[in-house]
Structure 1
């Protein structure tokens, strides 16, 4: 997965071949075909692997329900924004946009394992008893979209275009401001 990820990021989807991956990893193309059926199948698995490993730290909200809500959401905001604005996720997103924009299965697979999964996780958290005792949220879907929009602003678009990401201090400041705005919107 790591070799395939590196090659897809360095060369793009179209210019990466299964022969290159075999040359670096060893084995045979036949083995790759047995596990992944084709290059697209391998790319889908690369997406799933990297989505899971890059965004895994985001899925810790439920573990922190005893912590203050603002602190929990600040931590989520920083991890989420850093995850969607850095490699490998930003480069893989570029590949999906460039090479699979007229193709349903790969973008759908990515959407389900990445953004949709995060949205549902955040929605469930916002519906939790710990949150509902502190915030008045009638529509958790909308609240999720609003929080993620406040967190992302244009930073993901800027990362996609190759702009430098925020420093740790800037990220911390931005996360606190985004979460504070969200909390003011839904305060009881």
Structure 2
């Protein structure tokens, strides 16, 4: 079971991903992310020391989710052509 701290971290990552997608890295601000999360910048910085580290964590989370999907497809019975087409 996830702790409240981990749940909060995951919530921050989800909101940050939305902000980065909407406005890009350069225009995204920790203040905007904190506002959307419903917390303070201090809380945000306690989880992620910088916007760069938050962005890296968002990208790591996205890559893990994508790779999970890919591996799920690869582990299904049948040939790759049956599951995903032949190219």
1:7 and 2:24 correspond: no
> What CA distance in whole angstroms lies between the structure 2 residues aligned with 1:36 and 1:24?
16
1:1-188, aligned counterparts within 5 Å?
1-60=13-72, 61=74, 63-64=75-76, 67-68=77-78, 70=79, 73-74=80-81, 75=83, 78=84, 175-176=85-86, 178=87
- The structure with the larger Rg is 1
Scaled by the length of structure 2, the TM-score of the pair is 0.72
Following superposition, the deviation at residue 32 of structure 1 comes to 1.4
Unaligned runs of 5+ in 2: 1-12
Unaligned runs of 5+ in 1: 79-174, 179-188
Following superposition, the deviation at residue 45 of structure 1 comes to 0.7
Following superposition, the deviation at residue 25 of structure 1 comes to 1.0
Q: Kindly report structure 1 stretches of 4+ aligned residues shifted beyond 6 Å.
A: none
> What CA distance in whole angstroms lies between the structure 2 residues aligned with 1:42 and 1:35?
8
Structure 1 vs Structure 2 CA RMSD: 1.6
Scaled by the length of structure 1, the TM-score of the pair is 0.36
Number of residue-to-residue matches in the alignment:
73
